[in-house]
Amino acid sequence: MTHKNIPRTSSIDRRTVLGLLSGSLAALAGCSGGLSDSSDGGDGSAGPPEEQSDYIEETSIEIVENGRQLALEVAVTDEIEPSSVSIITESGREFASDYFSPGETRTRLSLTEGEDSYEPLPRGQHTLYLRGDDVETKLPLELDTTFELEEVVPGTEHEEVRDDSLGVVVRNVGQRTGAATQTILNGERDSEPFEPIEPGETGIVEFTFLLKDRAHCVKVEETTVREEKLAVGFLWSDPVTITQSIKYTDRFDSTGNGCKRTLAGEPEEVTTTPTKTETETEG
């Protein structure tokens, strides 16, 4: 599988996912050479690397131009001469790597891989590995959180959702920021939203045109109710999967064609099998 580094040019149209690393990257003992780092242990309770490392000034996760790729931007102090930085997965695989040019103090690493699939760096306790003149330090890159269903709303009741679509509101109940990455309707990919959601906050994703009156309708006598299976996929979290009943009725109350769609009843959340980390999958 090809590993693709994100270009480090100011022309990339991107949105910074604020706070995505807050509480996600913690310092781990692992420095060597002539310089010392302020890392003080690997208990997972330390703050982001810029608070724990003498070498790191800033870290952020960004969405790049096509909206389906992520990049980790790392800025280091100009008091050192960095040579390279890598992301090593918890299984020991190098996921992405880049070199600093002379005088450079900022670089960007891909957090997705694959020419077309854009698979994200999997959940788990990974490592950010920085090297340079008299510098070698390792920082944990922990990616894991949990989302829960809040409510299901028709687009007519929510300004961020189209009138003929369905919105699913989810809450991040974990300790780290994550993002909704795709919606799946009855096993088929419906759309590819990217909705960053910080801990304790909610976000809404859209199932497009689910409530749209259709030209191709189901045959009904008066009403027909069908259960639709809706799933919201996330970065670094198990999906939220629900069943929602949709009522089909005659558009003109005379043709026997169920073209008009409305919600029927409350959604029911489906328990899903927890997603394994990379190490658990390989083991």
- Is there a single domain that holds both residue 110 and residue 136? yes
Q: Which residue would you say has higher pLDDT here, 243 or 42?
A: 243
Q: Which of 142, 163, 192 is the last residue of a domain?
A: 142
Residue 12 lies in a domain: no
The three state secondary structure string of 179-228 is: EEEEEEECCEEEECCCEEECCCCEEEEEECCCCCCCCCCEECCCEEEEEE
CB 130 within 8 A of CB 85: yes
Of the candidates 216, 209, 227, 221, the residue with the CA atom closest to the CA atom of residue 255: 221
d(CA 143, CA 124): 5
Average pLDDT over residues 95-118: 88
The mean of the pLDDT values for the chain is 76
In CATH, what number is assigned to the domain containing residue 189?
2.60.40
Question: Residue 118: which region, alpha, beta or left (left: phi > 0; alpha: psi -120 to 50)?
Answer: left
Average pLDDT over residues 104-127: 85
Look at 36-45, 105-114, 151-160, 181-190 and tell me which has the smallest mean pLDDT.
Answer: 36-45
- Is there a single domain that holds both residue 117 and residue 194? no
Q: Which of 93, 122, 142 is the last residue of a domain?
A: 142
Residue 214 lies in a domain: yes
- Is there a single domain that holds both residue 262 and residue 164? yes
pLDDT of the residue at 49: 67
pLDDT of the residue at 147: 95
- Is there a single domain that holds both residue 154 and residue 101? no
- Is there a single domain that holds both residue 263 and residue 163? yes
Which DSSP state fits 274? P
Residue 224 lies in a domain: yes
pLDDT of the residue at 22: 36
Please, which residues have CB within 8 angstroms of residue 234's CB and are 6 or more apart in sequence? 145, 147, 178, 179, 180, 181, 240
Average pLDDT over residues 62-74: 76
- Is there a single domain that holds both residue 213 and residue 132? no
- Is there a single domain that holds both residue 136 and residue 163? no
Residue 132 lies in a domain: yes
Q: Which of 142, 175, 203 is the last residue of a domain?
A: 142
Q: Which domain holds residue 136?
A: 56-142
- Is there a single domain that holds both residue 133 and residue 151? no
Residue 180 lies in a domain: yes
For the segment 174-221, what is each residue's pLDDT rounded down to a tens digit?
877 788 888 999 988 888 777 778 889 999 999 988 888 766 566 666
- Is there a single domain that holds both residue 156 and residue 263? yes
pLDDT band at residue 107 under the 50/70/90 scheme: very high
Residue 82 lies in a domain: yes
**What one-character-per-residue DSSP string does 236-253 give?**
SSPPEEEEEEEEEEESSS
Residue 88, φ and ψ in degrees, nearest 5:
-110, 125
Average pLDDT over residues 117-132: 86
Residue 42 lies in a domain: no
pLDDT of the residue at 76: 93
Quote the tokens at residue 233.
């996929």
- Is there a single domain that holds both residue 190 and residue 129? no
Buried b or exposed e, range 187-215, using 16+ CB within 10 angstroms: eeebeebbbbbbbeeebbbbbbbbbbeee
- Is there a single domain that holds both residue 133 and residue 156? no
- Is there a single domain that holds both residue 210 and residue 262? yes
Domains in the chain, number: 2
pLDDT of the residue at 226: 86
Residue 166 lies in a domain: yes
pLDDT of the residue at 190: 86
Report CA-CA distances (Å) from 44 to 29, 234, 246.
11, 22, 45
Share of the chain above pLDDT 70, in %: 70
d(CA 247, CA 262): 5
Q: Is the pLDDT of residue 283 over 70?
A: no
